[in-house]
């Protein structure tokens, strides 16, 4: 009879854990809770030639009320890796790409997906 009692206890515990997971989901990485740092990487290219763009400033802000701050600059390969603070329940983060030499038009954008990856960004030349 004791084995039946232990079997029922195990089934009850398993059922409780199943209900908990169904209600709250799988545990997530803490950086994707209410706020955190979102690591992102970009590859900036010329829209007309497809060549990588060196020296493009990557600026960012967490919310619309913030001012832009410089996060990094692209290297010779056109790549830049940045980390930007975000708040989950607010629109953002916002990024701006700006050519200090004035060869390419500035571009600003916002990303909903905050996972790090090599995002190709194409800038239009100023004629």
For 2-28, write each residue's pLDDT tens digit.
777 776 676 676 766 666 666 666 555
Alpha carbon separation from 43 to 39, 68, 108 (Å, rounded): 14, 20, 15
pLDDT, one tens digit per residue, over 67-126 is 888 888 999 999 988 887 766 666 667 888 999 999 999 998 877 666 657 788 899 998
pLDDT surpassing 90 at residue 60: no
- Residue 63: phi and psi, rounded to 5, are -135, 170
Question: What pLDDT was estimated at residue 68?
Answer: 85
| CB distance 54 to 76 below 8 Å | yes
Question: What pLDDT was estimated at residue 31?
Answer: 46
Question: What pLDDT was estimated at residue 113?
Answer: 63
Q: Determine the length of the chain.
A: 127
CATH of 30-123, one of 2.40.170.20, 2.60.40.420, 2.60.40.1120, 1.10.730.10: 2.60.40.1120
Distance CA 43, CA 45 (A): 6
H/E stretch holding 122 reads strand 118-123
Question: What pLDDT was estimated at residue 54?
Answer: 93
pLDDT surpassing 50 at residue 58: yes
pLDDT surpassing 50 at residue 45: yes
Question: What pLDDT was estimated at residue 94?
Answer: 81
Distance CA 54, CA 45 (A): 9
What is the CA angle 71-73-76, rounded to 5?
A: 155
Contacts of 74 (CB under 8 A, 6+ apart): 42, 44, 52, 53, 54, 55, 56, 58, 80
pLDDT, one tens digit per residue, over 28-39 is 555 445 566 777
Question: What pLDDT was estimated at residue 99?
Answer: 93
| CB distance 86 to 93 below 8 Å | yes
């Amino acid at each position: 009879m004791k084995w039946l009692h232990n079997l029922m206890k195990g089934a009850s515990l398993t059922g409780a854990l199943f209900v908990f997971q169904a209600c709250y989901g799988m545990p997530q990485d803490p950086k994707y809770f209410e706020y955190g740092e979102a690591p992102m990487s970009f590859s900036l290219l010329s829209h007309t030639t497809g060549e990588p763009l060196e020296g493009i400033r990557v600026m960012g802000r967490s919310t619309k009320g913030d001012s832009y701050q410089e996060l990094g600059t692209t290297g010779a390969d056109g790549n830049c890796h940045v980390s930007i603070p975000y708040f989950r329940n607010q629109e953002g983060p916002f990024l701006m790409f700006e050519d200090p030499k004035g060869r390419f038009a500035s571009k600003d954008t916002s990303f909903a997906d905050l996972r790090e990856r090599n995002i190709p960004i194409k800038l239009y030349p100023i004629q």
